[in-house]
Amino acid sequence: MNITWGAAWRIARRELSGRFRGLRLLLACLFLGVGALAAIGSLTTAIHQGLAAKGRSILGGDVQITVWQRALTADESAALARYGPLSDGRRLQAMASAGDTAAPVQLKAVDAAWPLVGRLSLADGRNVGAPAPGTAWIGSGAAARLSLRPGDSFTIAGRPLRVGGIIAVEPDGLGEGFALGPTVIVPLDFPGQAGLLAPGAMYRSRLRVACAAVCDAEAIAKDLAARFPSAGLDIRTRDKASPGTETFIARMGDFLVLVGLSALLIAGIGIGGGTASYLEARRGAIATLKVMGATSSDIARIYLLQIAAAAVVGSGAGVIAGVAILPLIARALSDVLPVADGITLAPWPLARAGLWGLLVALVFAAPPLVAAQRFPAMALLPSVAA
C-alpha cells in the first residue's frame, strides 16, 4: 500500500511518545546548537540597536568634524555653530610620568562645554564635566600603571597635573575609537601649553555640535562636505557614531555564527547516532507495518515525520532559550558594549537558527532512515523467520 502524508502523520503521532522517548539525544543536540545560534543572532542585533539608539551619546553630539594637525578655522566652526552649541577638543598620544614610572596615554583635551551629551562619571560617584585648570580625570588603567590616586600629582610633557578623579564612565568613550593607552582628560589649553601641538605633532582636532532643535544630521554632514570639499574634514553623524565598533560587531557576529554552525554540525553526529538507536528500538514496529503491506517509502515517510516533529520541538526550544538568555548576556556586557535593554526579537537571525537546526537534523537522520526502510520484514522479525 501507499499511504498518504496525512495517514503517515496519524501513525507517526500515535507511536510517538509525548515525551519523545528515544529521541531525547536529538532534542538535546538541537536545543544546544540552535540556542547558541539564536543567542548569537539576538546579541548582534541588540548591539546594533543599542548603537543606533545611543548614537548621540556615543558620538557626543549630533555631528562631529575631525581634522588632523590643525585647529578648525573660524569659517568651519561658524558653519557648524549655526545648528547649536559646540564643543572643541584635541586628541593625541602622550607619555604620563609619576616618579620613575611612565606610561603611554590617550590625551583628551576638552573645553568647558564638554560633554554636550551625557555626563562623565567618576569612581567616587560624582558626575562632572571638563576638569579645572591643572587637574585631570584619568582612566583606571592609567591610575593602575602609575600607582595614582585622587589628589596625587603626575606630569605630561614636563607639565604637572593633579588627579581630580578616576574615570568610571566616559560618555563618548566608545566613539573615540582605538587608543594606544588609557584616557587622560585635561583642559583644552593644556596640550598647547605643554608644547604638544607644535608643527609636525600628530594630533586631531574634534568639533562637535548638539543641535538646539530637531535636525537632520545627514543633511548637515552633506552641507559641510559641499562647503569645504578640500579641507580634509572627517565628518561623522550620530547615525554612524562608531563605525569601527559596528564593523567589529559585524565581524564578531559572523565568526560566532561560524562557531555555532560548527558546534551544530558536530552535534549532528549525535543526532545521527540518536536516530539510529531510536529506529533500532522500533524494529518490531517497522516489521509489523511491512507485514501489513507498508512499503519502504511508507516506512520512511512515517519515521521522517517523527524525526521532523522532534527537530521542530528541539529547534523551537533552542530559539526560545536563545532569546530568553539575551538579558543575562546584555547585563554582563553592559559596561563594554551598548546592548539594547530587554528582550530583542530578531526575526531573520532566529529563523535562520531554526532552519539550520532542521536542516542538520534531516541531513544526519537521513542515513539511518534509509537503512531502516531497506530491511525486509522477515529480517526484522527473526522469531517469525524461525
Determine the average pLDDT of the residues in 245-272.
84
Determine the average pLDDT of the residues in 118-134.
92
Instruction: Tell me: do 230 and 354 sit in the same domain.
Output: no
Per the listing, cell 531510536 goes with 278
Given 194, 222, 240, the domain boundary residue is: 240
Q: Which range is least confidently modeled, 24-28, 94-98, 315-319, 337-341?
A: 337-341
> Which of the two residues, 188 and 377, has the higher pLDDT score?
188
Is the pLDDT at 384 greater than 70? The verdict is no
Instruction: Tell me: do 87 and 203 sit in the same domain.
Output: yes
Instruction: Tell me: do 277 and 162 sit in the same domain.
Output: no
> C-alpha grid cell for residue 337?
558594549
- Global confidence as pTM: 0.69
In 121-142, which positions are buried (b, 16+ CB within 10 angstroms) versus exposed (e)? bbeeeeebebbeeebbbbbebb
**How open is the CA angle 138-143-146, to the nearest 5 degrees?**
120
Given 221, 240, 259, the domain boundary residue is: 240
| pLDDT for position 174 | 79
| pLDDT for position 274 | 84
| pLDDT for position 60 | 87
How many structural domains is the chain composed of? 2
> Which of the two residues, 180 and 233, has the higher pLDDT score?
233
Confidence of residue 377 (pLDDT cuts 50, 70, 90): low
For 161, residues 6+ apart whose C-beta sits below 8 A from its C-beta are: 134, 135, 136, 153, 154, 155, 186, 190
Instruction: Tell me: do 322 and 344 sit in the same domain.
Output: yes
Is the pLDDT at 376 greater than 70? The verdict is no
Q: Is the peptide bond before 243 cis (omega within 30 degrees of 0)?
A: no
Instruction: Tell me: do 264 and 360 sit in the same domain.
Output: yes
| pLDDT for position 266 | 86
For 328, residues 6+ apart whose C-beta sits below 8 A from its C-beta are: none
Determine the average pLDDT of the residues in 94-112.
93
Is the pLDDT at 53 greater than 80? The verdict is no
**DSSP state letter for 174:** G
User: Which of the residue ranges 124-128, 269-273, 365-369 has the most confident prediction, judged by mean pLDDT?
Assistant: 124-128
Is the pLDDT at 386 greater than 50? The verdict is no
Measured over the CA atoms of residue 31, residue 33, residue 38 and residue 40, the dihedral's sign is positive
Determine the average pLDDT of the residues in 94-103.
92
**DSSP state letter for 375:** S
d(CA 57, CA 47): 15
Is the pLDDT at 132 greater than 90? The verdict is yes
Instruction: Tell me: do 196 and 280 sit in the same domain.
Output: no
Average pLDDT of the chain to the nearest whole number: 86
Instruction: Tell me: do 28 and 84 sit in the same domain.
Output: no
Instruction: Tell me: do 130 and 18 sit in the same domain.
Output: no
Instruction: Tell me: do 12 and 104 sit in the same domain.
Output: no
Instruction: Tell me: do 98 and 33 sit in the same domain.
Output: no
Instruction: Tell me: do 218 and 69 sit in the same domain.
Output: yes
Instruction: Tell me: do 226 and 78 sit in the same domain.
Output: yes
For 286, residues 6+ apart whose C-beta sits below 8 A from its C-beta are: 279, 299, 303, 372, 375, 380
Give the E-state strand segments of the chain in sequence order.
63-68, 86-98, 101-110, 120-122, 127-128, 135-138, 153-156, 159-169, 183-187, 203-209, 234-237
Given 240, 273, 304, the domain boundary residue is: 240
Q: How many CB atoms lie within 10 A of CB 48?
A: 20
Determine the average pLDDT of the residues in 340-345.
74
Q: What is the CA radius of gyration of the chain?
A: 32
Determine the average pLDDT of the residues in 45-52.
80
| pLDDT for position 138 | 95
For residue range 291-332, list pLDDT tens digits in order: 777 777 888 888 888 888 888 999 999 999 988 888 888 787
User: Which of the residue ranges 57-66, 130-139, 301-310 has the most confident prediction, judged by mean pLDDT?
Assistant: 130-139
Look up the domain containing 99 and give its range: 57-240
| pLDDT for position 385 | 46
Burial class for 221, CB neighbours closer than 10 Å (0-12, 13-18, 19+): buried
